[in-house]
A and B are shown apart, each in its own frame.
Chain A
Amino acid sequence: ETGVTQTPRHLVMGMTNKKSLKCEQHLGHNAMYWYKQSAKKPLELMFVYSLEERVENNSVPSRFSPECPNSSHLFLHLHTLQPEDSALYLCASSQDWGNEQFFGPGTRLTVL
């Protein structure tokens, strides 16, 4: 695998489910990001990790919980989501925080 990979690519879940999104980067980068992309809305930065430490959390509801166990992996744990959380969730990485970002293909999440 090369670049940034995300699994699953598609996820359908009920409001009471618990699921996790996984992101892996094979670029040797030190920073990783979660974004939410909803239809007709700008890209929303959710979380930033630099050297495995969270450096930014943009007022994201607690039903989204990130985890960065090492510099290559980033997870987004989901629980008791709402239908308005349906969106494309994009992961990205960069050499250092603020450099050009490389994006994964995204996970299309649908909350029923």
Chain B
Amino acid sequence: AQSVTQLGSHVSVSEGALVLLRCNYSSSVPPYLFWYVQYPNQGLQLLLKYTSAATLVKGINGFEAEFKKSETSFHLTKPSAHMSDAAEYFCAVSSFGDMRFGAGTRLTVKP
């Protein structure tokens, strides 16, 4: 069975600082990987996805993630945090129709 582990349930950064949200996956076959964002009282919105093409994936709102097979990681980054980035972020892995979500990381951005 596949699974996702998000390291750190809470991450706090200052505005303008680098954002790094960590995700490690476990899958017996090449997976599809996703990052979603959830703002308060809203559903999840897709930020970006990896589907076995380029290992560096660019998403919306300046976010990107790099697929590293050797490390089984798919960390999410953004060079400069903005106040509007404060939200909960979910990593997900999918293969053979089965998608699993991580527990989520809440990002706080301090002024």
Contacts and interface: CB of A to CB of B under 8 A. Distances in A.
Contacts of B104: 42-43
Interface residues of B, number: 21
A46 interface: no
> Chain B binding site: helix, strand, loop or mixed by DSSP?
strand
Nearest to B98: A98
A47 interface: no
Interface in A44-87: 45, 50, 55
A98 B43 contact: no
Contacts, number: 48
Given A42-B102, A43-B90, A90 B44 contact: yes
Interface in A90-112: 90, 92, 96-106, 108
Q: How large is the interface on A (under 10, 10 to 19, 20 to 34, 35 or more residues)?
A: 20 to 34
A43 B32 CA distance: 18
B42 A102 contact: no
Contact of B97 (A43, A97, A100): A97
Contact of A105 (B43, B90, B97, B101): B43
Interface string B79-106: 0000000000010001111110111100
A5 B43 CA distance: 10
B28 interface: no
B34 interface: yes
Interface of B: 32, 34, 36, 41-46, 49, 90, 94-99, 101-104
Interface of A: 4, 6, 41-43, 45, 50, 55, 90, 92, 96-106, 108
